[in-house]
């Protein structure tokens, strides 16, 4: 289970890195500018793309890195708390995209899918880990 969680965390780091690239892109159109409703450049350059001067994508990279370390050490209960926070934060960002900006970022949607799957798997892992601890 830990290797699956680590792979998902690495995928999250990759997606967040692509979003960070969009945040700092200065030339040309965003490669994920699909139509009026899907444009990563618009989302990642909006005022909501920074929290206290830190790009949200940087926060995502740090969060996924922390989750990879927690998976490696099999700290599934702590990881579950981190993934729940990550899902809540991602849902908040999805609300901003849908209700305030009116534009979606494909990288953000992919990240929401990744953190949701990681939450489910860390929930399963934490319960399995508890059963193993009781049996052993």
Q: Domain ranges for the chain, please list them.
A: 2-135
The pLDDT of 74-94, averaged and rounded, is 96
Percent residues over pLDDT 70 in the chain: 93
Class of domain 2-135: mainly alpha
The pLDDT of 5-32, averaged and rounded, is 89
Calpha distance 134→84 (Å, rounded) = 25
pTM for the model stands at 0.90
For 50, the enclosing helix (H) or strand (E) is: strand 50-51
Query: How many residues are given for the chain?
Result: 136
Q: Is 78 exposed, middle or buried (0-12, 13-18, 19+ CB in 10 A)?
A: middle
User: In the prediction, which pLDDT does 6 show?
Assistant: 97
The pLDDT of 77-106, averaged and rounded, is 96
């Amino acid at each position: 289970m830990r290797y699956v969680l680590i792979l998902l965390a690495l995928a999250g780091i990759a997606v967040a890195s692509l979003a960070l690239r969009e945040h700092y892109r200065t030339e040309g159109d965003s490669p994920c500018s699909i139509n009026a409703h899907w444009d990563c450049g618009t989302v990642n350059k909006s005022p909501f793309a920074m929290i206290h001067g830190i790009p949200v994508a940087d926060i995502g990279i740090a969060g996924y890195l922390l989750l990879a370390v927690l998976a490696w050490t099999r700290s599934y209960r702590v990881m579950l708390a981190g993934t729940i926070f990550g899902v809540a934060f991602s849902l908040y960002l999805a609300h901003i995209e849908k209700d305030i900006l009116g534009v979606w970022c494909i990288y953000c949607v992919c990240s929401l899918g990744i953190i949701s799957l990681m939450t489910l798997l860390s929930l399963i892992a934490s319960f399995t880990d508890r059963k193993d601890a009781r049996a052993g």
